[in-house]
Structure 1
Amino acid sequence: MRILGGLLLLFAFLSVHSQSTERKDLVESHFTYSFSGATDQQQLDKLEQGMYQIKGITEVKINYKWDSGMGQLFCTRVSSPRIGETVEEFNPADIKRLISELGLAPVEFKEL
């Protein structure tokens, strides 16, 4: 019985330890993309949903000024560190295409 309890405790410790070390290997990047154009809340919601379809995007926030028709998209991307050429590269053109498809004009992309 003691052996079983010890094995369960060891398994629980190793599970928690492996999860915490996996998280340390990830790299978090922050980006912003400004855009312009008249839109409505439904289009902004579609933009947010589309952003989450891009691989690695974990957080999205959109600030839009209704009076000026200008907006800014903030996003966070989590990825593995680059090792060799096997890592899929992030492409800001995916965000630009998404903004354009919703009838908005992409203005400027920045890595924060």
Structure 2
Amino acid sequence: MEGNRVKVKKADFVEVKKEKLLEHNWVLVKTERYEEPIYLRKLENNDYSAVLLHCQHKGCEVNPAADMLHCPCHGSEYTTTGKVVKGPSEKDLQQFMVQADGDYLYIQL
């Protein structure tokens, strides 16, 4: 934490496994402010999206699943940027602004 923002290393999207570099397109970020993690996703053109994995329907923790986000409690589905595509939820996930510099990402809470 740095004030009202979370600092995340861009290197957290890279994992070394059996001497190979594996690039991930998302990471989960845990903060003291929220019970659920923040889903931080790398988009095209070095842009990033950050959404709180807290379902707007009944408050369950949403799970990343392939190229979507899924609520296990009642089946709501969201895009990877938090837009609702299937109910019962009628509200998008809470989004956060993400800024970047050379080595770090900053999620504004």
Normalising by structure 1, we get a TM-score of 0.25
Normalising by structure 2, we get a TM-score of 0.25
Larger relative contact order, structure 1 or 2 (CA cutoff 8 Å, min sep 6): 1
More strand by share: 2
More helix by share: 1
Larger gyration radius, structure 1 or structure 2: 1
